[in-house]
Amino acid sequence: MEQPSSPPQDTRPGLIGGVVELAKNSFGLLMSRIELAALELAEVRTHLLQLVALFALGTIVAFFAIGYWTVLIAYLSWPILGWKILLILAIVCTVIAAGILFYIQSLIRQGRLSMPATMQELRNDHDALL
């Protein structure tokens, strides 16, 4: 008894098969890119947390250093100037704080914190989509 032979299988996929394979490969590529981005973002997050912790620690140490230097200057100058050294230190600190405040205001007025190129591209994308 002879078995009916099946038609030979075509080794080339058809149009639908090709599209399905392309979709599978594209999905796999997209998933690998997402996994890579997730790994890199986790690493960046770890480094960012370390940076924030070091910045906070540095700020605290800087405040202590400023405080100790101020006390040392006041202590060493007290026999000569008396209470006037406290006034001088207060004026110096106030002038420095005002200078920093004015510098921050000038940065804001100049628009250096507004990311103009990114905002323009987002406006262009919005206009193109609508």
Tell me: the pLDDT tens digits for 39-85?
888 888 888 899 999 999 999 999 999 999 999 999 999 999 999 99
pTM of the model: 0.53
Q: How many CA atoms lie within 13 A of 30 on its CB side?
A: 6
How far is 124 from 130, CA to CA, in rounded Å?
10
Q: Which long-range contacts (CB under 8 A, 24 or more apart) does 58-65 make?
A: none
Q: What is the pLDDT of residue 12?
A: 61
Better-predicted residue by pLDDT, 120 or 63 = 63
Of the listed ranges 5-14, 16-25, 49-58, the least confidently predicted one is 5-14
Q: Which pLDDT value is given to residue 75?
A: 95
Of the pLDDT bands very low, low, confident and very high (cuts 50, 70, 90), residue 109 is confident
pLDDT value of residue 9: 56
